[in-house]
Amino acid sequence: MRWHTADFDALSWHDVRVHGFRIVEKDQGTAELVLDIDFILEWLPFEGGGYRFRIAQAILQFHDVFGLRFMLDYVACSAGMTAFSIDRIEREVIGEAAHGQFYRWRIGVNWPEGFLEFEAPGFSQWLVGEIVEQDGQTLDPKQRL
């Protein structure tokens, strides 16, 4: 499965865990921002309350990124070092690029406190692991590549 910027409104990253991020330098001061995530494909409610999840390891890559601001505060909540959890991803149109619109992106983090903000024309996302159905929202390290 593969998604792109045009799919943004159909996707949700709420409670998706980020296990790693990488900045890959490009030309003229831009970079690829690569996030290694446990992507929740589906929340499956069951009778009596609660959910199971269809989840898979994925790569979320933003293209031609610049103006990155990044803050995570594990100290304020006395948190141990774990993967951080996305609250939501928002975007705002800020102009036109050669191949379409250009956006200011904000990735809100709900655990611990934090955010990522940057400008980029778009993203790609693809699965790199098997889809599993489970009770938790995070893959076990043995399930990750």
Mean pLDDT within 51-73 = 97
Q: How confident is the model at residue 131 (pLDDT cuts 50, 70, 90)?
A: very high
Mean pLDDT of the chain: 95
Q: What CA–CA distance (Å, rounded) separates 82 from 24?
A: 23
- Residue 98 pairs in a beta bridge with none
Residue 101 amino acid letter: Q
137 contacts 127 by C-beta, under 8 angstroms = no
pLDDT digits (tens, 9 = 90+) for 106-122: 999 999 999 999 999 99
Q: Report how far apart, in Å, the C-alpha atoms of 21 and of each of 14, 35, 140 are.
A: 17, 4, 18
pLDDT recorded at residue 50: 93
Query: What's the pLDDT band for 78 if we cut at 50, 70, 90?
Result: confident
- pLDDT for res 56: 98
Q: How many residues are recorded in the chain?
A: 145
Listed in sequence order, the residues at least 6 apart from 26 whose beta carbon sits closer than 8 Å to its beta carbon are 32, 64
Q: Which residue has the tokens 């979320």?
A: 60
The amino acid present at 79, given as its one-letter code, is A
Query: Tokens 């390891």 belong to which residue?
Result: 57
- Residue 88 pLDDT level (bands cut at 50, 70, 90): very high
Q: Is the pTM of this model over 0.85?
A: yes
Q: Specify the pLDDT at position 38.
A: 98
Neighbours of 120 (CB within 10 A): 24
Tokens found for residue 130: 């098997």
Which residue(s) pair with 41 in the sheet? none
Residue 80 above 90 pLDDT?
Answer: no
pLDDT at 27: 83
* Encoded tokens for 88: 């939501």
Q: pLDDT of 14-29, one tens digit each?
A: 999 999 999 999 988 9
Q: Does the pLDDT of residue 30 top 80, yes or no?
A: yes
Q: Report pLDDT for 47.
A: 87
